[in-house]
Amino acid sequence: MTIKALVFDAYGTLYDVQSVRTAADEAFPGYGEIIAEVWRQKQLEYTWLRTLMGRYRDFSVITRDALVFTLRCLALDYHAAVVQRIMDKYLHLDLFPDAKDALTALKDRKLAILSNGSSEMLNALIHNSGMESVLDATISIDPARAFKPSRAAYALIETRLGTAPADVLFVSSNPFDVCGAKSFGLQVAWIERVTPAAMASESVDHQRPAPSTLFKMLRMQMDELGFAPDYRVGALAELPRVVSRG
């Protein structure tokens, strides 16, 4: 199958959403990891719930609401300025170390992002990380007013790029996103950064899985929805090899 364009998920695929733990730990020492994990879980849950309810809010609102939920449930004393300081990290997330080089090596194809992020959030993030020169397009799901894995979100790719779904390789580390994109008809590559074997080794010394292991089980393992990726790779750096075969 031909690959004329590569479209990347942003949060968790090109950008490390767990890097928010540094800002969270500065505000609440010792709580950075648990805040980052619960926040991410609730953030995604709110996108799905709001899409199902038909009560759309942009991703910045959802992200803030999920953070407030997390701080409240952890019984942490917070105020608006603290919330804003932690939120600002979403405009300065860490790129995965191999992201820029991998995309630069793929510049003979169209390169784009399709993300739940609002246009304002994405534009700031891409500018702050120096990725503007690498990408041909940044697609927010805002016009669809429905978050991934809604079909309306993936339909924005052809509208924006003019490339048929069968000629697009969609790249994500988020299993729900992989299943949604494959269901829609895109070619899909899953960035499998955490394998079941690695998780099993983490749990060897524990009678019960650690919270971080539970998070990886919930958010980083392929879902049983009947859709499998076309390609499974361990890092973005492996994509040029995959595409050269396509």
| Angle made by CA atoms 121, 192, 13, in degrees to the nearest 5 | 10
Residue of 9, 142, 167, 177 marked active site: 9
Residue 5's closest CA among 236, 186, 168, 245?
A: 168
Query: The tokens 């299943």 sit on which residue?
Result: 179
For residues 59 and 118, is the Cβ–Cβ distance under 8 A?
yes
Is-catalytic flag, 9? Answer: yes
For residues 118 and 105, is the Cβ–Cβ distance under 8 A?
no
Residue 9's closest CA among 181, 223, 232?
A: 181
Distance CA 27, CA 49 (A): 29
Annotate 70-131 with DSSP letters as a single string. HHHHTT----HHHHHHHHGGGGSPEEPTTHHHHHHTTTTSEEEEEESS-HHHHHHHHHHTT-
Backbone angles phi, psi at 174, to 5 degrees: -90, 115
Q: Which residues are catalytic?
A: 9
